[in-house]
Every structure is written in C-alpha cells, then in structure tokens.
Amino acid sequence: MQVTLAPMEGVVDHLMRDMLTRVGGFDLCVTEFVRVVEQLLPKKVFYKYCPELYENGYTPAGVPVKVQLLGNHPEYLAENAERAIELGSHGVDLNFGCPAKTVNKSKGGAVLLQEPETLYKVVKAVREAVPREHSVSAKIRLGYNDKSLAFENAQAIESAGADLLTIHARTRDEAYDPPAHWHWIAKIKYRVDIPIVANGEIWGRESALACQAESECEDIMIGRGALSMPNLAHVVKGHQEPMLWCDVLDLLLSYSEYEIKGDKGCYFPNRIKQWLRYITRQYEEAQSLYLRLRVLKSTPEIIDLLNKERQCSLHI
C-alpha cells in the first residue's frame, strides 16, 4: 500500500507536510494547488507553495513532494508544469477536483468535470511538456452535479497520457458529506488501464481496508483523516496503533514552534484552532481543549494552555 498525503488548500502547507512526514508512513505528498491563469509564474511562486524544492523536492523527513497545478489553459499549465519539474518537483499533479465555489467560478477545479474535452486538452499539453521520466497525474471527483460523466472524464485523462489518476469518491455537489462512494472508483477502474489512487472518508485502518476492498485499489490518499489522527498513515498500513493523546499534544506544541518561527506566525492562533478542530473527531480529550482554546487570541495564552494540558495528560 502506498499512502499519499492529500493537498488541502490553507491547511496542508509545507509546515504541516514537514510535521506529518516526520511522524511517518507517507510515501508522497502533493502541494496545495498553484493557480495558473495566463502566464508563466515566477519561480518564487513555486518556492512559496513548495519550499521543499530548495531540497530537491523532499520534506526534511525524505518524502518526495509533487507540485499540483490548477487552471484551464492547456498552454499555460504546460509551461508551468515544465517549470515545476525544472525546479525539482517529483512529477506534476493537475487539480480537477476542488469543490470551492470561488475556484469553480474561475473555471478551475471540479467545474471542469463537465468538460471532458478540456480535461483531455490540459492533460495532453502537460504530458507533452513534461519529460517522460516524470509522472503526470490528475485528481478528480466522481463528477460535478452527478456521476454521468465519470467514465468519460477518466478515459479522457487516460487517453491524454496521464500516468496516474486519483479519485475522490464523491461529486462536487456531495462535497465532504458521507458516505464516500468507493464502489464507483472500482467501476471506473474497469474502464481505464492507468493506476488509480482511492481517496475519501478514510479515518482509520478499518475504513482504509473497506476503501481498498470496495474501490479495488491498493493505493490510497488521505487528507482530513491524517489531520485527525497524525499517525494515520502508519495505522492504515498496520504498523502502529493510533497515537496517544499525550503524543498528539507534543505534536501540537511542536507545530506551534514551527508556525511561530515560520512566515505564517501571525496566523498561528487560527491555524492551531483549525487543526485542533480536526483532532476532535478522533480524540475525546480534544473537544474540551478546543472549547477552551478557541476563545484565546494571543499566542502566549495558547502555548500556556497547551503546556498545561500536556502536563495534565502525564498525570492521568
């Protein structure tokens, strides 16, 4: 089983990739999407979204990182894909799955699932621009309003030359509401020959195995689940039991140091609240901490509360 850390805009940035790949179990990371309009983006944009490019495209833990692009202009996406590879990205991923309204209004992400021909043109242009030894992949949902174009979209991406396809097992309209329709991934798998990675609603080893069985895919991608249980990649592989609460608190404190020292330090209170809210799904203790922490506004107050919670956890 290969486990990929999913791209999540505004959540899984380079600091979170560093943290989660240090915990371990991931075989690949995909960046937040880099939006491409009608220009070749300057190198600084790629370094902003993927600082790992300074280290040959690897996280400090040694996990390769792939840059993800979002847009609808084949020629500009091709130029930017070529630049991403030149800078050290481990392949290029194309975002055809983002459900955000602001993105879709700009004709990016999941809205393109209504246009198989556009998918084909984009993937074909990128594949022709990127040297063959580098992977070109795409991430889709089962559709936009419905699943009527699911097979056609996958076949368009395959025929355009993509090496890999990741499928989030819901439509854009279904957003993140359960259930994920893993069996639909299996239906698509029978109609294309490229490898498929299954994604959606994987929260633990049991759901990962169920996803593998229903999708008939060995490889998976996890996003929200990894934020809820930081060692989920190891858990789904059967290497570890879920992380203890005291160890999660250690991670929250470590992450706090990252954020405060990093270029997003001013956003730290919101970022730590955002992550802790995900953690409440898997850890009962997190709910009480979240309710106390969400009213705090200053970094020193938050750090003090986390330290007190950590000390209390050691005496339970």
Whether 98 is a known active-site residue: answer yes
For residue 168, the tally of other CB atoms under 10 A from its CB is 27
Q: Which tokens go with 109?
A: 């992400």
The 3-state DSSP class for residue 118 equals helix
The 3-state DSSP class for residue 89 equals coil
d(CA 143, CA 152): 10
Host H or E run for residue 94: strand 92-96
Residue 83 exposure: Cα atoms within 13 Å on the Cβ side? 20
Q: Which tokens go with 198?
A: 């299954």
DSSP per-residue letters across 291-315: HHHTT--SHHHHHHHHHHHHHHHHT
From 156, 201, 225, select the one nearest 5 (Cα to Cα).
Answer: 225
DSSP per-residue letters across 21-54: HHH---SEEEEEEEE--SS---HHHHHHH-GGGG
d(CA 298, CA 46): 31
The catalytic residue among 98, 217, 246, 266 is 98
**Which residues belong to the active site?**
98
